[in-house]
Amino acid sequence: MSAYFNSISPNLDVTHPDVCQFVNNYLHYVAVIKGHSLQTAYNYYIDLKEFFGYAAVLHHLCSFDEMSQFNQTILDLDFIKSITSQDIYEFLFMLQQKKNCKASTRNRKLSALRGFFHYMTLTVNLLKNDPTSSVSNAKKAQVLPKFLSEEESIQLLSNIQSDFYERDFCIITLFLNCGMRLQELVRINLSDIRDATILLHGKGNKERNAYLTPACVDALTHYLRVRQTMTNIPASDQDALFVSKRTGRRLSPRRVQQIVEASLQMAGLSGKGYSTHKLRHTAATLMYRSGEVDVLELKELLGHANVSTTQIYTHVDTTQLHHAVNASPLSQVKYMEPPKTDILNTNDPINIDEPDLE
């Protein structure tokens, strides 16, 4: 079966002919038992294939140049048992030195290895020791999320130019108000809209409600009025919220990215590192800056699994820090003219033999 699948045209068979059976068994476990998305399972496949290819190099089964063509199907349980923590450190070091992978990328690949060896050790009991148990994550540089200011957000909404204006205005309005992820937006169905909420289908098949602001309701009303007149929507996509004007099919994640990129360019905001995901950061930052949302409420609104992920937005809001500094009673004491008295001339020589006066 094909080794490639994606979220648009998924191949439900997650078996890959170029990795060992134990990796394939784990990928089935991830997709079927753990309930992760096919895209997540595919990402694990890529990371595990890369690791075991390099492990074959470390164990002298092939050269580094032959790594990508090495037949990993010959790797047996004895080989997997021979993997040590040092092998994993060597792999992470290679990623840093030869591939210039950032700490976040190395940590993501380490997470895939942890999942596999945890499965082999505790789920199917084929290993006695987990070589990842003593391997720590690389320290990541603290990077604050990039976001649009309130003025830039209005500038973006004011400069949307499209042959399907109502749809594209609605998409960007939902991003900026609800803070939803790209995949969550493209998965929205008409049946998910209930009163003033939208049921979002997020990571790990988790569901949450996005609460619609008056701006969202207004944008949806204008878009749905036009969508109801479309006659080219196929039966399979009748329930899809956002559809193509040309084909009537559900919009793909890449098409939504193109819509956002084009709108940013029209608004004069391209080249600043803004993207679809940055609109999610914008919604989160502006909500937190309002002072009406605390970090726990923001965690639920964004669908984060851990509050530690949400806390990065508390570092973005410098407004509160500014108010805190200005709260000092000395913050309003302005420059004073020097007192009109005799002042020691600092250029006069000082007698160093003269003792200090008590």
How far from the centroid of its chain's Cα atoms is residue 60's Cα? Answer: 37
- At 165-188, the pLDDT tens digits run 999 999 999 988 887 889 889 999
13-61 pLDDT, tens per residue?
578 999 999 999 999 999 888 888 788 899 999 999 999 999 999 999 9
What pLDDT does residue 143 have? Answer: 65
Angle (CA) 206-209-213 rounded to 5° is 150
CB count within 10 Å of CB 73 equals 14
Alpha-carbon distance of 194 to 197, in angstroms, equals 5
Render pLDDT for 96-126 as a digit per residue (tens, 0 to 9): 999 999 888 999 999 999 999 999 999 999 9
Q: Are 17 and 2 in contact (CB under 8 A)?
A: no
Q: Decide: 7 and 39 in contact? Cβ < 8 Å.
A: yes
Confidence at residue 273, expressed as pLDDT on a 0 to 100 scale: 79
Burial of 347 (0-12, 13-18, 19+ CB in 10 A): exposed
The pLDDT assigned to 348 comes to 53
Query: Catalytic site residues?
Result: 181, 203, 277, 280, 304, 313
Q: How many CA atoms lie within 13 A of 226 on its CB side?
A: 18
The structure tokens listed for 138 are 């690389």
Buried b (16+ CB within 10 A) or exposed e, 37-55: bbebbbbbbebbbbbbbbb
Nearest to 282 by CA among 142, 187, 165, 155: 155
What local confidence, expressed as pLDDT, does residue 36 receive?
83
- Helix or strand holding residue 112 (H, E): helix 103-118
pLDDT < 50: residue spans in the chain: 1-12, 321, 350, 352, 354, 357-358
- Residue 34 neighbours by CB distance under 10 Å: 15
